[in-house]
């Protein structure tokens, strides 16, 4: 077995132990908006200039992104079996790939009542999952704006594998 294969096998084993479906540096952003999404907008901008967000144009939700961090975008009723968003609001979801960095999140509501209405509390207005730290859940139950900061980092296992790769390379040169 070559050292290259052994290193990749160790990487697969580490991924299997964590049980994570996301790769290192990836994250999923879930936004729970109320039924009046036309009042809402969101931006998430990295210190490196990568940005994603949404805004309303007519009757359409426009998803925006810069760079290549957005792999996929979903927009649907929060409860997909509901006939209307008036009962549970809307779900917007982004799959971010290779998104390592520090991000500032800004959420706005032009009516000034947050993203809470009827059965939508606003408690889970912004949720990010993956190898993240900081404001991973931001509530927006009142007011005209809310926001926070989040850091997406590679998993500790990935950092350990990078260290192993460095040791293997060093050993080869000796």
Task: Tell me if 48 is assigned to some domain.
Answer: yes
End-to-end CA distance of the chain: 20
Task: Tell me if 165 is assigned to some domain.
Answer: no
Task: Tell me if 169 is assigned to some domain.
Answer: no
Kindly report, residue by residue over 123-136, the tens digit of the pLDDT. Answer: 999 999 999 999 99
pLDDT at 172: 53
Q: SS3 for 111?
A: coil
Task: Tell me if 6 is assigned to some domain.
Answer: no
d(CA 46, CA 58): 28
d(CA 38, CA 64): 16
Please choose, from the candidates 9, 43, 6, the residue with its C-alpha nearest in 3D space to the C-alpha of residue 126: 43
d(CA 140, CA 83): 25
Quick one: how far is CA 138 from the chain centroid?
A: 12
pLDDT at 11: 34
User: Per-residue DSSP letters for 14-75?
Assistant: HHHHHT-SSPTT-EEEEEEE-S-GGGEEEEEEETTS-EEEEEEETTEEEEEE-TT-EEEEEE
Range of the domain at 87: 21-156
Kindly report, residue by residue over 106-119, the tens digit of the pLDDT. Answer: 999 999 999 999 88
> Poorest-confidence range of 73-87, 120-134, 158-172?
158-172
Provide the domain count of the chain.
Answer: 1
If you average pLDDT over residues 132-142, what whole number do you get?
A: 96
If you average pLDDT over residues 144-148, what whole number do you get?
A: 97
pLDDT at 145: 97
Task: Tell me if 42 is assigned to some domain.
Answer: yes
Task: Tell me if 46 is assigned to some domain.
Answer: yes
Q: Please provide the average confidence, as pLDDT, over all residues in the chain.
A: 78
Kindly report, residue by residue over 35-81, the tens digit of the pLDDT. Answer: 998 899 898 888 888 788 877 766 667 777 777 778 888 889 999 89
Please choose, from the candidates 95, 103, 108, 88, the residue with its C-alpha nearest in 3D space to the C-alpha of residue 32: 88
Task: Tell me if 174 is assigned to some domain.
Answer: no
User: Per-residue DSSP letters for 112-154?
Assistant: SBTT-BTTB-STTSEEEEESEEE-SEE---SBSEEEEEEEE--
Task: Tell me if 106 is assigned to some domain.
Answer: yes
Residue 18 has pLDDT above 60, yes or no: no
């Amino acid at each position: 077995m070559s050292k290259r294969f052994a290193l990749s096998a160790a990487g697969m084993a580490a991924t299997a132990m964590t049980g994570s479906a996301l790769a290192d540096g990836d994250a999923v952003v879930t936004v729970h908006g109320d039924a009046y999404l036309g009042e809402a907008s969101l931006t998430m901008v990295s210190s490196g200039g990568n940005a994603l967000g949404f805004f309303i144009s007519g009757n359409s939700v426009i998803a925006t992104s810069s760079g290549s961090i957005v792999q996929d975008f979903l927009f649907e009723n929060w409860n997909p079996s509901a006939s209307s968003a008036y009962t549970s609001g809307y779900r917007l979801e982004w799959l971010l790939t290779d998104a390592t960095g520090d991000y500032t999140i800004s959420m706005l509501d032009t009516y000034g009542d947050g993203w809470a209405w009827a059965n939508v509390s606003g408690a889970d207005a912004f949720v990010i999952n993956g190898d993240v730290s900081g404001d991973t859940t931001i509530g927006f139950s009142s007011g005209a704006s809310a926001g926070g900061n989040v850091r997406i980092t590679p998993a500790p296992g990935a950092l350990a594998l990078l260290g192993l790769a460095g040791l293997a390379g060093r050993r080869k040169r000796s």
